[in-house]
């Protein structure tokens, strides 16, 4: 598990260029067959990939300048500003500004050049993706034009998505809109080039679908009827989770929740399109907060914490039934962590979806803990930890002695390399997929943590450098893949 942003790169953030291809080659060499990433949508508040401006668009911040040089759209010198950034932490705002300048140069060159192949690809892209692209790019241009925090504070007619207002602003902001379309073209061309390369090497890309979308997103603006909003476009209820392992006051995400009755009336058109699209982008997808498809924690929009919410029913069974009737097999992983009821388990099992087990949760009670390998079956994906957990080394340094005592009964051999013992426990389990966060392969402490749930800032910026990766670590995983029959052959 390694997000695109965390890859090595000299351009301020991991991207879809040379280092991504090298990582695919590394996975092949290790005998691994799955690369899991986080959502790729345009980053919203707090730079969280789970608060994106669109459920369909990609964030151009991941576009590789090196690939643009190869395509003849920029010169190497055009990207010189990006080389100055931190190679261990992503400086999102500064990198975004610098890359936008780069994209302006690329766009200008694209308009001047007569590269027939690129022009034809661009035209085909506009036709193929217009069904989401037109709303998203208009939304982005208007968001910049009005310079406010949410679409419902725009011009009233435009906020209500009226046809006349859409026509007016589409003409007025046509240049900005075309630029946004071009950036999406660059992202999608680079993404599918990488995905096709990975697939050709036997590597599947494991993507991630957040259950909710951001309030300030093109999806809510252009599909207001499928969300619970008031007459001013403000959410009446917002998403989150009650108090749990991660937070004593729960998590207040602030996303608008779905109007499941209206979704049902539309035959779940928006959701089906979203799932189809993501299964085109990725080979396997994880539905984050899967339990929200059965019932969801609905919190009054004016609440300061998630404590005051209540569980309300969703209609995920109807949604997944429609999808399965069209696709047959569903290459979907259910993120079923947290408070999971029998009803949620029945929803997951009705569609034969693998769930998730996390070894860092396995030692908090006793031998009956559901995350202990002897208590779960093969229809699962096992992790040492996820992007929301501490690293395994950081976890070990902070857990209570009672947890360490139980863990020591399962983590045999030397306690000096607890990280490798945890990886071995995951790999030797019956889970059909075992996922290792890159931070655990590197044996990093808490300094390598990707996200702390419940905190709004300072997350998602971790990156690694190639010099951190040691030969013995690679040999360890390669041997584990062979020994536990998890190699891609």
- Helix, strand or coil for residue 262? helix
Cβ burial of 147 (10 Å; 0-12, 13-18, 19+) is exposed
State the Cα–Cα distance between residues 434 and 488, nearest whole angstrom: 12
Identify whether 335 is a catalytic site residue: yes
Identify whether 155 is a catalytic site residue: no
Catalytic residue among 335, 424, 440, 443: 335
Between the alpha carbon of residue 166 and those of residues 67, 137, 161, 271, 419, the distances in Å are 34, 12, 7, 23, 54
Find, among 12, 4, 14, 7, the residue nearest to 82 by Cα: 12
State the Cα–Cα distance between residues 301 and 237, nearest whole angstrom: 5
Find out whether 283 and 329 touch, Cβ atoms under 8 Å: no
State the Cα–Cα distance between residues 439 and 445, nearest whole angstrom: 8
Q: Kindly tell me the sign of the dihedral angle through the C-alpha atoms of 297, 302, 303, 304.
A: positive
Catalytic residue among 19, 288, 336, 424: 288
Phi, psi torsion values for 429, nearest 5 degrees: -75, 170
Structure-token pair, residue 414: 């030397």
End-to-end CA distance of the chain: 20
State the Cα–Cα distance between residues 35 and 353, nearest whole angstrom: 19
Identify whether 288 is a catalytic site residue: yes
Catalytic residue among 388, 424, 440, 443: 388
State the Cα–Cα distance between residues 79 and 83, nearest whole angstrom: 7
Q: Quote the strand ranges of 323-435, DSSP E.
A: 332-334, 355-358, 380-383, 433-435
Between the alpha carbon of residue 410 and those of residues 23, 148, 418, 428, the distances in Å are 32, 53, 11, 12
State the Cα–Cα distance between residues 129 and 123, nearest whole angstrom: 10
Instruction: Write out the catalytic residue numbers.
Output: 288, 335, 388
């Amino acid at each position: 598990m390694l997000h695109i942003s965390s890859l090595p790169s000299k351009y301020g953030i991991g991207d879809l260029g040379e280092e991504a291809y090298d990582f695919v080659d590394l996975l092949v060499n290790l005998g691994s067959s799955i690369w899991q990433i986080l959502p790729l949508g345009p980053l919203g508040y707090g730079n969280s990939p789970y608060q994106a401006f669109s459920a369909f668009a990609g964030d151009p911040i991941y576009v590789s300048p090196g690939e643009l040089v190869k395509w003849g759209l920029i010169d190497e010198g055009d990207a010189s500003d990006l080389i100055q950034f931190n190679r261990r932490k992503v400086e999102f705002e500064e990198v975004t500004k610098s890359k936008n300048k780069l994209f302006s140069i690329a766009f200008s060159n694209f308009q001047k050049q007569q590269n027939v192949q690129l022009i034809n690809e661009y035209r085909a892209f506009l036709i193929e993706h217009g069904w989401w692209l037109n709303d998203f790019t208009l939304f982005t241009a208007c968001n910049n034009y009005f310079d406010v925090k949410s679409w419902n504070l725009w011009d009233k007619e435009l906020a209500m998505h009226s046809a006349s207002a859409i026509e007016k602003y589409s003409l007025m902001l046509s240049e900005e809109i075309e630029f946004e379309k071009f950036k999406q073209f660059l992202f999608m061309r680079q993404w599918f080039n990488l995905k096709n390369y990975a697939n050709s090497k036997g590597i599947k890309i494991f993507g991630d679908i957040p259950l909710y979308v951001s309030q300030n997103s093109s999806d809510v603006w252009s599909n207001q009827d499928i969300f619970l909003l008031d007459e001013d476009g403000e959410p009446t209820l917002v998403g989150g989770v009650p108090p749990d392992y991660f937070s004593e006051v729960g998590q207040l995400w602030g996303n608008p929740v779905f109007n499941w009755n209206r979704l049902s009336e539309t035959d779940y058109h928006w959701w089906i399109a979203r799932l189809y699209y993501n299964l085109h982008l990725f080979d396997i997808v994880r539905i984050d907060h899967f339990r929200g498809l059965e019932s969801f924690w609905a919190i009054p929009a004016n609440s300061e914490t998630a404590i005051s919410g209540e569980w309300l029913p969703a209609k995920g069974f109807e949604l997944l039934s429609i999808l399965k009737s069209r696709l047959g097999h569903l290459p979907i992983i259910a993120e079923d962590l947290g408070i999971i009821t029998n009803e949620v388990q029945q929803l997951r099992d009705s569609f034969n979806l693998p769930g998730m087990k996390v070894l860092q949760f396995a030692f908090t009670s006793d031998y009956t803990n559901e995350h202990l390998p002897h208590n779960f079956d093969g229809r699962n994906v096992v992790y040492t930890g996820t992007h929301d957990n501490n690293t395994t080394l950081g976890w070990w340094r902070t857990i209570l002695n009672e947890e360490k005592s139980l863990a020591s009964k399962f983590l045999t051999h030397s306690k000096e390399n607890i990280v490798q013992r945890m990886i071995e426990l995951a790999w030797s389990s019956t889970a059909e997929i075992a996922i290792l966060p890159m931070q655990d392969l590197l044996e990093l402490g808490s300094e390598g943590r990707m996200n702390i749930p419940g905190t709004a800032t300072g997350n998602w910026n971790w990156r690694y450098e190639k010099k951190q990766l040691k030969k013995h670590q690679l040999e360890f995983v390669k041997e584990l893949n062979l020994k536990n029959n998890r190699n891609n052959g």
